[in-house]
Amino acid sequence: MAIDRAPLIPALKNIATRLRIDSARATSEAASGHPTSCFSMAELMAALFFAELRFDPKDPKNPDSDRFVLSKGHAAPILYAAWAEAGAFDRAELMKLRRIDSDLEGHPTPRLPFVDVATGSLGQGICAAIGIALNARRIESDYRTYVLIGDGESAEGSVWEAANDGSLDRLDNLCGITDVNGLGQSRPTMFQHDMDQYARRWRAFGWHPIVIDGHDLSAILDAFDEARSTRGQPTMILARTIKGKGVSFTEGKDGWHGRPFKKGEELDRALAELEKQFVPVPAGGPTTNLSSLIPKPPSKSRPVVTPKPVAPPAYTMGEMVATREAYGTALAKLGDADPRVVALDADVKNSTFSDRFEKAHPERFYENFIAEQVMVGAAMGLAARGAIPFPSTFACFLTRAADFVRMAAISNVGIKLAGSHAGVSIGEDGPSQMALEDLAMYRAEPNYTVLYPCDAVSTERLMALMAYHPGPAYMRTSRPKTPVIYSNEETFTIGGLKVVRESDGDVATVIGAGVTVFEALKAYDQLLAAGTRIRVIDLYSVAPVDRDALVAAGRASRGLLITVEDHYAAGGIGDAVAEAVAGAGLTVRRLAVREIPRSGKPEELLDRFGISAKHIVETVKSLKSKV
């Protein structure tokens, strides 16, 4: 690519100026936003979009397009301006920035076809970019992935998780750009323009750092060339820039973060300064409209993937199998059936049993070591590009990636999370290893599917449903072995439940999930021996729940519902059931963990913390005596 790019420079410079003008005008019109954060990166965006990326503005989802992730999502206006400049949509739309009737939101979301993942929570875009770059390998495409982060953003630990992953995976198809504008939101950044601080960190983490003047278009183009020809490691272009560049009264000035120009005199002054920066384009060089020169991605015809049927479960009734183990088996089978299925681990694959997938499909297994944020972030990127990713670790450690779980909801991206070792039933390892707030975390998000199987058959069946259900999902699995209670032919649905015991004389319905289904069944046996019948429900789908079936069960059992869950009281199954049946005139009594637990044997802990068969029996008896 040793073409002479000198004639391009004036045209790119004019694009940079236009991007600044568009960013200023749009944010002033919206009366909010971050124009000065856009100004620092205008040359970077002009060079990237009009002399580097291969893409089709009219077909942004093309699987072989180069990808760009704006990790510093608050610079959204210049992202939108660049896509408009490229011809993706009418430039006039930019003036609707941040309006309720426009998809040009304050921070980018995949409501826009050219945005893969929502950004705006710093340090996440670069994790997604890891997944997007891995995806290129998965689909054997030579598309390249570019991600732009801020210098302030570099303080986020997730950035260094991504840095570590990028070098360990030798992602030379990935190019980072740090816009080192030296100013954070509230003060100068930690290193201001000490470029060596950044260079030595990225170098130490195994990347190829290139320090440049981020307003020098020739230097930017050279850096892109160098990145493209770097093998075996990702590149980080460290661009020294000036926040507010282009307008004299904002250049390098603190106090302008997140502050648009006031319409009228202030904006007019800024625009007048910017307009003066247009330069003549030499005769014979490219015109000021470079969009026609954007190289299109290679047009490969990619066959539509038709997954094979997933092999059915093959368990024996009563066989003792932990749901976490059934998860591993199911995951490997899903991988057999569908090449889009991939798995991600954080060095617990032998506990979550995702190592069964690794053994069957090593090329689609990504080891993130103990770094949950980049594991989930990379899954977001993979999902955005067509993979069906299953990141898994202990359920409690997925809370490490709670902000990624949140942003995945905003992206509505199909990550399939699995958390093992839920609840006090893990036993001796103690509270730090027990997930007791995970259901609350996922249920809070309005678009997550939450599944919680109690046996191996339901785990396998639900895994196959989860893989193909649109949007993000979470499966909770347990550490102890539990008996298989469903036949291999049993069917399940997202939003369903199973009534596992019922009679005409039930005095209450006990609703369990996971390990507590078996406590409920023990309670059933004990109560039956004393002549009392209860209905028992396995609430394997926690979000959504089957309201109608719950109400019907309650009405058939004297209006009494007793929930029992290996989870804290707030936000879990009790709340899910109570909200679902609200207004139906039923009584919901909740058994849940109500204090910080401790180490002990699983059965001791279930009992100590109020969710064992004994507590269910007592609750049924006490409620019965009141009726």
Judged by CB under 8 A, the chain residues 423 through 482 that form the site for its own copies are 427-433, 436-437, 440-441, 443-447
Do the beta carbons of residue 406 and residue 313 sit within 8 Å?
Answer: no
- Tell me: does residue 156 bind its own copies (CB under 8 A): yes
Stretch that binds its own copies, among 118-126, 224-232, 291-299, 611-619 (CB under 8 A): 118-126
Contact 74, 120 (CB under 8 A): yes
The CA–CA distances, whole Å, from 349 to 147, 161, 361, 392, 393 equal 29, 18, 14, 8, 7
CA–CA separation, 277 and 145 (whole Å): 31
Compute the least distance from the CB of residue 594 to its own copies, in Å: 6
* CB closer to its own copies out of 65 and 109: 109
Stretch that binds its own copies, among 13-21, 105-113, 269-277, 300-308 (CB under 8 A): 105-113
What are residue 418's phi and psi, to 5 degrees? -135, 130
**Containing H/E element for 581?**
helix 573-581
Does position 570 interact with its own copies (CB under 8 A)? The reply is yes
x/- contact string, 575-604, with its own copies (CB under 8 A)?
Answer: xx-xx--xx---xxxx--xxxx-xxxx--x
CB of 164 to its own copies, least distance (A): 6
> Per CB under 8 A, which region of 322-330, 414-422, 484-492, 569-577 contacts its own copies?
569-577
SS3 state at 345: strand
Q: Contacting its own copies (CB under 8 A), which of 134, 147, 171, 409?
A: 409
Q: Which of 15, 410, 418, 534 binds its own copies (CB under 8 A)?
A: 410
Q: Is 271 left (phi over 0), alpha (psi -120 to 50) or beta?
A: alpha
What is the C-alpha separation between 54 and 66, in angstroms, rounded? 5
Site residues for its own copies, 12-51, by CB under 8 A, read 30, 32-33
Site string for its own copies, 196-215 (x = CB under 8 A): ----xx-xxx----------
Angle in degrees, CA 282, 284, 285, rounded to 5: 60
How far apart are CB 105 and its own copies at their closest, in Å? 4
Minimal distance in Å, beta carbon 449 to its own copies?
Answer: 13
Q: Does 351 bind its own copies (CB under 8 A)?
A: yes
Tokens of 90: 């009418």
Q: Does residue 73 touch its own copies according to CB under 8 A?
A: yes
The residue (of 203 and 547) whose beta carbon lies closer to its own copies is 203
How near is the Cβ of 92 to its own copies at its closest, in Å? Answer: 18
Answer yes or no whether residue 335 interacts with its own copies by CB under 8 A. no
Alpha helices in 308-455 (DSSP H): 323-337, 349-352, 355-360, 372-384, 402-411, 438-444
Q: Phi and psi of 148, rounded to 5°?
A: -110, 125
Among 412, 532, 541, 557, binds its own copies (CB under 8 A): 412
- Taking the complex as a whole, the smallest distance from the CB of residue 575 to its own copies amounts, in Å, to 5
Residues numbered 524 to 543 that lie near its own copies (CB under 8 A) are 543
Residue 313 or 391 having the CB closest to its own copies: 391
* Of residues 587, 399, 580, the one with CA closest to residue 507: 587
Q: Which of 156, 325, 358, 372 is catalytic?
A: 372
Q: For 75, list phi and psi in degrees, rounded to 5.
A: -90, 25
Tokens of 293: 């020169």
Q: Which is nearer to its own copies, 271 or 578 (CB)?
A: 578
Q: 490 to each of 323, 430, 466, how far by Cα in Å?
A: 16, 35, 16
User: Which CB sits closer to its own copies, 132 or 586?
Assistant: 586
156 is an active site residue: no
Burial class of residue 291 (count of CB atoms within 10 Å of its CB; 0-12, 13-18, 19+): middle
Which residues from 243-302 bind its own copies, rule CB under 8 A?
none
User: Could you say which of 139, 155, 311, 337 contacts its own copies (CB under 8 A)?
Assistant: 155
Run of H or E including 163: helix 157-168
Token pair listed for 143: 């598309």
Work out whether 608 is an interface residue with its own copies (CB under 8 A): yes
The catalytic residue positions are 372
